[in-house]
Amino acid sequence: MPVDLTPDPAVAELAKRTAAFVREVVVPVEERHAGVVRDDAVRAELQRAAREAGVFAPHVGVEHGGHGLDMRGRAAVFEEAGYSLLGPLALNIAAPDEGNMHLLEAVATQEQKERYLAPLVAGEVRSCFAMTEPAPGAGSDPAALTTRAEKVPGGWRIDGRKWFITGADGAAFAICMARTSGAPGDRGGATMFLVDADNPGMTLVRHIDTLDESLYGGHLEVAFEGCVVPDDAVLGAVDEGYRYAQVRLGPARMTHCMRWLGIARRSQDIAVARARERELFGSRLADLGMVQAMIADNEIDIAASRGLVLQACWELDRGGSAAQATAIAKTFTAEAVWRVVDRAVQICGSLGISGDVLLGRFLREVRPFRIYDGPSETHRWAIAKRVAGRVDR
Ligand SMILES: Cc1cc2nc3c(=O)[nH]c(=O)nc-3n(C[C@H](O)[C@H](O)[C@H](O)COP(=O)(O)OP(=O)(O)OC[C@H]3O[C@@H](n4cnc5c(N)ncnc54)[C@H](O)[C@@H]3O)c2cc1C
């Protein structure tokens, strides 16, 4: 079936405004902070500027003050925002808040939307999503979930340990996945809970020292010990957590791809600018065949990633699960973005390794994307299983 890839004029105009905002306002702040901001005042200032430019929170519904972009619309705008490591933070479309907003919009009750979604959309608070556990718990295989929630009068008591919880430091609340029935290994029986950060049963154990540093609020180990939450803290229905995780994860995979595609393009722009000005062996780098090959391969990787993401977004917009399309797009893009940034470093030579351009920072930031939102191997395994299991082949 043919897919029309042209964004509608309003989306194209928003993408253009986002591109200008990111280049003029965000990139100078990013360069000043070498891509890593840990200061709420800087975050608030960037978000104020995005609001003023009319590009803030474009993904949420118009009723929540956003532009109500569908997934294909997000593809155009998020890539422009992703041109800077701080663009998504400025627009309030950074992980994990953006995925959590999507989930809350789809699943939360009216009261939960007012209490959790509204301040999140406004940028007044941040959030985190607590699914992954240290071994032998949930990771590539979410069914290994060990954190338990037991029914108590008027609510639930959650016990378990999570790690790599992005943004947990400073988050106002966590969406925590816990097992409410069955045993680790079972494919059902999980429930999502909204846990306020001031709950005495939820403790931030430590910041994990990681290769990447730009995602706001760090990656933390979080303990849930005798963490009692009321019945209305259940997000959606009891035992339906895995189903809701798919509501969040499919689109969240694609929005990660969109944002990192922005960084791939930025890296290519830096490398091409260098290749045009640097002279070697009597010619410009840009005229040497092996550099041309790297520049061309970068273009191919970027174009192919964008095409796969748009295909998956189109399927999501039509209401499908797009499980195969998002797995293919995520796997390819995560690996392609790494290749693009790595080639950009190579083209720039020692400059690429230095802190004078941000390519080294970008390389560190994109590497974990081959692991989170499903490692490449998990996706390849799932893709192959779906293909091999098809009866109509
Ligand atoms: C920077 C970063 C941020 C993160 N943020 C969050 C967050 O906010 N919230 C959250 O809940 N989690 C988060 N995570 C965790 C992330 O989702 C997990 O790392 C991911 O699901 C993989 O789980 P694991 O790390 O336990 O690896 P494991 O499950 O131990 O897998 C290890 C390796 O096994 C291999 N493998 C996996 N499946 C297969 C297969 N079928 N066949 C062959 N080999 C396979 C892969 O190479 C994989 O890398 C984050 C992780 C990182 C790195």
Q: Which atom of ligand 1 is nearest to the CA of 374?
A: 21
* Paired sense of beta strands 173-179 and 155-166, if any: unpaired
Question: Across residues 205-215, what is the average pLDDT?
Answer: 97
Question: Across residues 132-138, what is the average pLDDT?
Answer: 97
Which of 191, 194, 187 minimizes the C-alpha distance to 179? 191
User: Model confidence at 115, in pLDDT bands (50, 70, 90)?
Assistant: very high
| DSSP SS3 for 191 | strand
- Residue closest via CA to ligand 1's atom 14 equals 164
Is the pLDDT assigned to residue 12 strictly greater than 90?
yes
Is the pLDDT assigned to residue 29 strictly greater than 80?
yes
User: Model confidence at 6, in pLDDT bands (50, 70, 90)?
Assistant: confident
- Residue closest via CA to ligand 1's atom 30 equals 139
Residue 363 to residue 295: CA distance in whole angstroms: 17
Is the pLDDT assigned to residue 300 strictly greater than 70?
yes
Percent of the chain topping pLDDT 70: 98
Give the pLDDT score at 385: 96
C-alpha 344 – ligand 1 centre gap (Å) = 27
Percent of the chain topping pLDDT 90: 92
Give the residue, out of 372, 373, 380, 385, with the most ligand 1 atoms within 8 A of its beta carbon, to mutate for a pocket test.
Answer: 372
C-alpha 105 – ligand 1 centre gap (Å) = 26
Query: Which has more pLDDT, 40 or 187?
Result: 40
- Residue closest via CA to ligand 1's atom 37 equals 378
Domains in the chain (CATH in brackets) are 9-94 (1.10.540.10), 127-235 (2.40.110.10), 242-389 (1.20.140.10)
Report pLDDT digits (tens) over 46-67: 999 999 999 999 999 888 888 9
Q: Which helix (H) or strand (E) holds 207?
A: strand 202-207
Is the pLDDT assigned to residue 248 strictly greater than 90?
no
Is the pLDDT assigned to residue 298 strictly greater than 90?
yes
User: Model confidence at 249, in pLDDT bands (50, 70, 90)?
Assistant: confident
Average confidence score pLDDT of the chain: 96
Do 357 and 346 meet the contact criterion of CB atoms below 8 Å apart? Answer: no
Give the pLDDT score at 118: 96
Is the pLDDT assigned to residue 393 strictly greater than 60?
no
C-alpha 374 – ligand 1 centre gap (Å) = 6
Give the pLDDT score at 3: 63
* Paired sense of beta strands 155-166 and 148-152, if any: antiparallel
Give the pLDDT score at 391: 60
Q: Which atom of ligand 1 is nearest to the CA of 142?
A: 21
Pocket residues for ligand 1 (CB within 6 Å)?
96, 128-132, 139-140, 164-166, 210, 212, 219, 368, 371-372, 375, 377-378, 381
- Residue closest via CA to ligand 1's atom 13 equals 164
